[in-house]
Structure 1
Amino acid sequence: MVGEYSLNYNALHTKEVFFILVLSTGLFNHVTIIPMLLESAARDSWLSVIVSVIPYSIFLLIVYYIAHNTRQENISAWLKEKYGAFAAGIIIVPLLIILFIHAALTLIDTSIWAGIYYLPRIPNPIISAILVISCYWISTRKLKELAVMSTIVLPMVVLLGFFIMGVNTNQKELEYLFPVFLNGYTPFLKGIAYSLSGLTEIYVIILLQHCIKAKVKLKQIALLGVVLTVLILGPLTGAIMEFGPVEARNLSFPAYEEWKLLKIGEFISRMDFLAMFQWISGAFFRIGLFMYIINHFFKRGKSRFLLPVLYLVIYGLTFLQFNTYDLNKFLYVYFLPVSLITVLAVMILLFVLVLIKKKRSYDRLEKTQSKQTGVEGS
């Protein structure tokens, strides 16, 4: 079942891990989750994201508490030592399954998007095969190599994001964001849940905590949380202000469609090919990182066969011929609600286990100090 994470790579700086997480998690928050938010809360979705910061802050505190009180050890090894292999499996396996499904959905979504907008004459299996081979190569690299690549790619992705945001400013109508609560509070509350389903992906820090050289500080986790929240809020408000809440809700890829509005002067437009660099960069790092984590958290990950088999499974799923509607429906109705409940349940359980172990350690320390005080007094 779950094995110890093989540390055959150099430990990373905190910022390097965060760069990887922003690239991988950022694609989901910046692109994939936007249609779900618009479907659930429409015009109120931007307010749902802002209010979700309140419960999200509690989740960030839980993540920090776990990392701090496990001393950033390998979480699987820590659980096996303190509570046994069964407890480690209950905590780790559900999280890895979620990562695997996320990786599969990202590859399917990316291949559909690339086929629709850029490669309509290329059969989808060929597009998917190219993506699988590229992501497999990333998964076989050391984590340090992924970190170095992310420090090069992420600044370019961010600059392109600011570029499209700035150029499209004259296309935005602020009044489209108001009035709110036209359909009551239920859509708004649903939007909070879907927002959290993307934001709680920050739990990946726990799976990578032993790879980080220095102690992770609360302010660093909070900063990462803010960045992930802005990654949702930016394209979401942009889509509503540029297309209106009704039209934005009908778009399959609102964040990408914003690139089609770009126009500089009289002669420069249709620079949406730059969106491919953003999307593909995020997809490669997301799939590659998640499969890397899965591969190394299992004993069989030391074998050369597990990773190819997992990628073959993902590649096989692309032959099911999902379309955008089917994929979004699966995400909206089934996967995102289930994954949110699972992540919250597992992280709360892990928090309780860490809390119990800390209390026991504190009690033992108190008893030891009391005995020493008694000996000294006699």
Structure 2
Amino acid sequence: MNDIPIDDAGRAEPEHYLLLGDVGLHYPLAPRPRTPLVVARIAPSPFSSTGPQAVDYLKPPSTMTRWVMLLDGAGEHAIQEFTEPLVVWRGTSIDPDFAQMLATWQIPGGQAADLETITPLAVLRVHRGTSCDRTEVLMCSRMREVGAVFARVATMDLTAGATVPEIAREALTRAHDLRDHVAVEWQEFTHFEDDTEIELKLGLKQRVSPWGLASRIAAVVRDGRLPGFLPDVGNELQRWHFQQHTFEVIEPVAERGYIAFIQKPSGHYELKHKVFAADAIRRTETFRQGLDIPGDDFAGVLARDYAELTCRRLPSFMRCRFDVNVESAATGHFFGIEIDEVVVPEHDAVLQQVELEYHRSRVHDGLDQASIDTELYRLADTVSEWLAEAGVTSEKTFYSKLSFLRDCVAGERSTVRPVG
């Protein structure tokens, strides 16, 4: 078996195994008894750490192996080692060379392997100890051409020195834990604090190309070089632009904030209503969709639907935004690294920020709402450090678009307001 790598702090990396088998072990399908259970020893992925991990992401190169075990239903197993590594899984199907190897390799007991229903089932992260071996079981949760995502459904403790077959078979007893959340598209996620925006900002001190910055950060995330974060696989990058018409809510005091109108390509409007007494990490945010506003009579909508509010119109702006979407490997929380440029033509003013916004959380073993803020601040620090290395000075801030528009009207332009 391959030597266990040691990280820079002298800690042993957990052993990593990729389990492949009948898709019926994970989904309610009729089983195929001749589909082998394949255990491949793999190296840590670029997104792995030595500590506990809620999520792992394997691109095809991360599934390379030199050591494979085949197990049958009776617990018999056979091991094969290779001089040159083989890629096990490539995007959405088994690698052809690996499949050819399996097709010539009999399952213990003498039967040929049935590969029609084989799929990645789990990643096992085995932390060897003196008294017990702790294994994190991460079941396959999302499969895309770029790679597969695995989410932790259980943590098991077995007697120290547990064999790979023992670990693999015990892991399969947990295959259905959280299955409806882990294995079903878009049921993998939950969202805490409905109707609340949770966001930090990094004000940029130099003018930059928003797209250039976004594409560079996206590449850093893609290559596993943003410590502790992996891409939101299948939703790695989004690009937006729109015009916004904003009305500040002056009274009553409890409703201060703003109401904004954003036109969609359909011609209908989205109404965004934010309530906050001062710029802060949390702001109440609600939306109305599909509004038809003839003649762009925004004041008429406010008079009809928000008669209890006293509002003043602020300058309209154009906004371009490029979102690099990431997931915390340790906590399963998703965030946007949103490169934002706002232009107010009426005042010849420009605001550039990197917004760091909480999006949602992956349902997994150990999900913890309390870690959202901690991980958001860690992301802000990590991105700030990367910006500094790239020669871009930034400052942590809660400075809002509302404050920016107020400053434009007051003639102060885009002064960044730091946190604290």
| Structure showing greater relative contact order (alpha-carbon pairs closer than 8 Å, 6 or more residues apart) | 1
Query: Is the TM-score greater than 0.5?
Result: no
Normalised by the size of structure 2, how large is the TM-score? 0.22
TM-score by length of 1: 0.23
The structure with the largest alpha-carbon Rg is 2
Please identify which structure carries the higher strand content: 2
